Amino acid sequence: MEVIISTAANSVPRDQDDESIYNKAKQVKAFDDTRAGVKGLVDSGVTKIPTFFVHPPENVQRSSSSNTSYSSSNLQQVPVIDLEGIETCGRRLKVINEIRNASETWGFFQMINHGIPVNVLDEMLASVKRFHEQPQEVKMEWYSRDSKRPVRFFCNGDLLVNKSPANWRDTIAFDFQDGELDPCLYPQICREAVSEYIKHVIKMSKTISELLSEALGLRRDYLSELECMETESLVCHYYPICPEPDLTLGTTKHTDPSFLTILLQDNTGGLQVLHQNQWVDVPPEEGALVVNIGDFMQLISNDKFRSVEHRVLAGGIRPRTSIACFFYPSTANKFKPYGAVQELLSGNPPIYRETHIAEYLAFFRSKGLDGIPNLPHFKRA
């Protein structure tokens, strides 16, 4: 299939925004109608990216500046936490302290020896890559912007509503309702791998929930009883090789609207977290999973745990695959108000007003990935 989308080289100068010259909405619609995604552009042989993928230079910079800089130095390293032996008292206390420190200062940490077999992780990554590298006519059957579909393939969920530049990635998403989804609904090419992986990651999330509860100084089952991590959204991204990686991003800087996110990434690299005004690499670790605090966890912890901005760079050498599992309240609790945990206030007032996940996600989706944090909107007056 030939994908015909005007690029900056043959259409509109990138320093012009005259609507009569460049109609972004029209180009975006033409691109979306191909149902081929970014991979379709690459397969068609484009050497210049469409203008609606071009980000402001200050947002894609990879070198230092006066405000925000980039660091791959060992002096700035996302914590790596070894979960081996956490059922023994002394070891568990050490891990809880490490998780507390990481959640308070970084909002991110990597886990090793978490109990999920490496072959399960490898096959999950491989199966997602196989799906995205199928012929376009096969993938097109799964292409949809209907959020009610439990399994769907798309490019940029906010593509048609977000005024900000698009991200250089394609996605297949699986929306689990309270941990249940019929595997017959999955594409055959990744059915077995998804079924096996989600089983393991849900089990592991129970352990992480307990450790986070204890890291907050609460009883072990506190977060479990809140039912704040009972529904999962498995979002499987594919970042094709980009002909102009210095002009766009794989994922715009953002925080996650979830309670918690568990990420599996391949060995390509590109994920960065904003720490002390520096973009710091989250380097791939063999067999590791990345955990990051979501907005709702920051809300209920009254800023004790931090949901921090992160992004993914576009790559010009090889494609990247990652699988993010976002954890949300159970379906029955989507309108349940969540606020600061009383035990964590210590006489201080709540920073944020109570809200429910349905309201929070509606706000998040209405604005799209625009690089602007969501939590300030919910601060108490």
The pLDDT, as a whole number, for residue 350 is 97
Which structural domain, as residue segments, surrounds residue 326? 56-378
Q: What number of CA atoms fall less than 13 Å from residue 64's CA on the CB side?
A: 5
Q: Is residue 189 part of a domain?
A: yes
Residue type, 205: S
The pLDDT, as a whole number, for residue 369 is 86
Please say if the pLDDT value at position 219 is more than 70.
Answer: yes
Number of domains in the chain: 1
d(CA 182, CA 164): 35
d(CA 370, CA 299): 21
d(CA 142, CA 121): 23
d(CA 65, CA 78): 21
The pLDDT, as a whole number, for residue 75 is 61
The pLDDT, as a whole number, for residue 8 is 42
Q: Is residue 31 part of a domain?
A: no
Give me the CATH number covering residue 292: 2.60.120.330
The pLDDT, as a whole number, for residue 20 is 38
**Token digits for 230?**
């009972």
**Mean predicted confidence (pLDDT) in 46-72:** 76
**pTM for the predicted model, two decimal places:** 0.91
C-beta neighbour count of 152 within 10 angstroms: 18
Q: Are 150 and 174 in contact (CB under 8 A)?
A: yes
The pLDDT, as a whole number, for residue 5 is 39
Q: What number of CA atoms fall less than 13 Å from residue 196's CA on the CB side?
A: 15
Q: Give the model confidence (pLDDT) of 352-372 as tens digits.
A: 999 999 999 999 988 888 888
Structure-model confidence comparison of residues 21 and 126, the more confident one: 126
Q: Is residue 9 part of a domain?
A: no
Q: Is residue 26 part of a domain?
A: no
Q: Which has the closest alpha carbon to 268: 114, 128, 68?
A: 128
Q: To 5 degrees, how large is the angle CA 71–CA 237–CA 312? A: 15
Q: Is residue 258 part of a domain?
A: yes
Q: Is residue 4 part of a domain?
A: no
71 pLDDT band, cuts 50/70/90, is low
CA 116 to chain CA centroid, Å, is: 20
Q: Is residue 30 part of a domain?
A: no
Please say if the pLDDT value at position 335 is more than 50.
Answer: yes
Alpha-carbon Rg for the chain, nearest whole angstrom, is 21
Q: Is residue 158 part of a domain?
A: yes
**Token digits for 172?**
């297949």
Q: What is the DSSP string of 274-297?
A: EETTEEEE----TT-EEEEE-HHH
Residue partners of 244: CB distance under 8 A and separation at least 6: 48, 49, 316
Q: To 5 degrees, how large is the angle CA 321–CA 324–CA 328? A: 165
d(CA 202, CA 130): 23
C-beta neighbour count of 345 within 10 angstroms: 12
